Structure 1
C-alpha cells in the first residue's frame, strides 16, 4: 500500500466525516479534541498518548508573520493505528492558513512503515520551529536597529510582543520535545506491542535533537530581547539625563542674571548705579559677562 492509501488527511471535518475514519474504541475525550475548533494560541499542549490499539497526538506549529509582527498557531491532531494514520488539520482563527502536510508527504516513500510516516510528519514540524527561530532572530535584529530610530512607545510594545510570543513558543516546543522523547525512550506502544522500530526511533532521536536546538535558539532569542530591553532602558535613562543636564545648565546660567536683576531691583535710594548714566549698560554688560563666564566654565568641565 502506498503512503496516500494509509494516510488520511482531513481539514476541519464534521462529526460524520470523522466517524467514518476513527476506530470504534476511540475515547470520547480524544474524539472531542478532534472535533474542537482551533480557537486558542498555544493550547492545547502538544502530546503523544498511547490508548491501547491507537495513538492519539496533538501537534502545534508556531508560524511567524514578519510583515504583521505576528505569531499564530496551526493545530494538527493525529490518530495512529497499526496500519493507518489519520491527521485532522484545523483552520486557525482570523482566516489564517492551516498546516500544510505536503512537505512531510513528499518526504515519505511508498514502502515506509506507518511509524516512519509519523516521523516525517513530526520532523517537518520540528524543521518549521527551526525556521521560526531564524525568523525571530531576524526580527530581533530589526528591533536592535530600530531602538535608536523608533519612538519609545513602539520599542516597548515590540519588546513586549516578542517576549510574549517567545514565552508561548517555548511553552509549545517543550511539550512536543517531551512527546518525541517518549518515542525515543520506547514508552509508547499498542497494548505492549512495539509501534516504532529501532530505525524509526533513531530518526525520532534526530527530531528530538532538532527540538533541543530550537529550545536553545528560543532561549538565546529571549536573552537577546532582554539585552535589547536593557539597552532601551539605558538609552531612555541617558536621554533623560541629557534633558536634565540641559535644564540644569539653563537654570544655572539664569541664576546669576536673576541675582543681578534682583540686586538692582531692591527698593533702596542709595544704590550707586541707579543714577549713573551708564548704569543700564553696566547691568547688561555684567549679565552677559557672567553668563559667558559660566558657559565657558561648563564647557571646560565638559558639562556641555
Structure 2
C-alpha cells in the first residue's frame, strides 16, 4: 500500500492511543521509501518527507510513522513533510499523527487564507501568500502580471509541515539550499520557517522589480508625443495587479513582526534576529508598493489631463473653422434671398467685390486664429 493509503487508514483510528495504533498499522503494511531526492513525488499530495538531525538528513527512513517515532524517541532532530494541495481525506492521517488543530487543518486544505501566524498550543501555524511575475511580450488591458499562491506551515518541536497551493512556489530548491547549510538547518524547525518567510519575501522583491519595468513603460507611453492616445486600460490593469500584490504583502507585516519580537516557544531567540531582517525587507516591499500606487494614480491623472487638453484643442480647431466658414455662409445667405431691389445684383463689379470681401474676411480670421494657436 502507498503512503497515502497508510495515511487514509490512519483517519479511522480513535484519538485515544492513536500513535500506538498508527505504529502497529504501519508495521503491518508495505513501507514507502522516503529517502528520495528533493521534489520526488511520494503520493498524490506528499512531495517529500525527510528527517534531519544536526542539520543533516537521517538515512534509512522508510515510513512516516517510524520516522516520527525515532525522532521523538531520541528527542533529536525533526521531520520536514512537504505537501501540495492535499484533500481533507489525505491530510486527516497527518493531522492525527502530529495532533494538529482542526481549524488550522481546515485552513490549510481550503486555502484562500489571509497571511497570518497563529498559535495552537505548542504548534505554530503560518500562512504566506506567494507571488510570481507572469512574463508577457507586451502589456495589454487584459495581461496577467501577478500570479498568487499560498504556503501554509505547521511548526512544532520536532516537525515542519508545509502545504503548498498554486502553480508556483516550489520549495524543492529551498530545501536543497538549507541542506547545503547544515549549521542553519541544525537550529531546528524555526530555521525552516525563517527560510520559507525569507524566500517568500524575496519573491516579493523580484516581482516589484519586474513591475517597475511595466510601470516605467506605461509612463513613457503616456508622456510621449501622442500620449493622449495611450490605452488607459493598461494603467487600470496594472493597478488591479498591484492590488493583488498588495493583498499578499501588506497583511504579512504584523505576523512577521510578531515572529521577530514576541517570545514564541517554538521559535528560538537566535532565529528571531533573522525574522527582523525579513521584516525589514517586507517593509521595503510595502513602501515600494505604496509608491507604485501613487505613481500609477499620477500617471492616470496625467493621461486624463492629456485627453482633456487634446479634446479642447480639437474643439478650438472646429470652432475656428466654423467661424471662417460662417463669413461666406452669411454673405451667400444674404444674396440668396433674390430680392429685386438689390442694386448690387445689376452692378458690373458687384460679384468680384463680394468675392474679394469674403476672401479678405476669411483670411483675416484665419490669420488671427493661427496667431492665437487655434489653428
- Residues 298, 150 of structure 1: alpha-carbon distance in 2 compared, 3 angstrom cutoff: closer
The residue aligned with 1:35 is 109
Q: 1:10, 1:87 within 8 Å by CA — same for their partners in 2? A: yes
1: distance between equivalents of 2:56 and 2:149?
A: 23
1:105 aligned onto 2:175:
yes
The residue aligned with 1:94 is none
The residue aligned with 1:197 is 268
> Higher mean Cα deviation, 1-10 or 223-232?
1-10
After superposition, what is the alpha-carbon deviation per residue over 1:74-115, rounded to whole angstroms, capped at 9, x for unaligned?
Answer: 111111111111101113xxxxx2321134323322324221
Query: Which of 227, 231, 237 is the aligned partner of 1:155?
Result: 231
1: distance between equivalents of 2:101 and 2:170?
A: 27
2: distance between equivalents of 1:4 and 1:214?
A: 35
SS of 1:295's partner is: helix
1:46 aligned onto 2:77:
no
CA drift of 1:150 comes to 7.4
Query: Which of 309, 327, 345 is the aligned partner of 1:238?
Result: 309
The residue aligned with 1:179 is 255
SS of 2:374's partner is: coil
2: distance between equivalents of 1:106 and 1:166?
A: 31
Task: Show structure 1 runs of 5+ residues with no match.
Answer: 92-96
Q: 2:257, 2:276 within 8 Å by CA — same for their partners in 1? A: yes
SS of 2:132's partner is: strand
The residue aligned with 1:129 is 204
Task: Show structure 2 runs of 5+ residues with no match.
Answer: 1-52, 59-78, 137-142
- Residues 88, 3 of structure 1: alpha-carbon distance in 2 compared, 3 angstrom cutoff: farther
Q: 2:115, 2:129 within 8 Å by CA — same for their partners in 1? A: yes
CA drift of 1:151 comes to 7.6
CA drift of 1:157 comes to 1.6
> Higher mean Cα deviation, 9-18 or 285-294?
9-18
Query: Which of 250, 256, 271 is the aligned partner of 2:321?
Result: 250
2: distance between equivalents of 1:254 and 1:139?
A: 47
> Higher mean Cα deviation, 212-221 or 264-273?
264-273
Q: CA RMSD in A?
A: 2.1
SS of 1:245's partner is: helix
2: distance between equivalents of 1:301 and 1:30?
A: 71
CA drift of 1:27 comes to 2.0
1: distance between equivalents of 2:164 and 2:83?
A: 6
CA drift of 1:4 comes to 5.8
SS of 2:157's partner is: coil
CA drift of 1:3 comes to 6.1
TM-score (norm: length of structure 2): 0.71
1: distance between equivalents of 2:307 and 2:228?
A: 11
> Higher mean Cα deviation, 55-64 or 237-246?
55-64
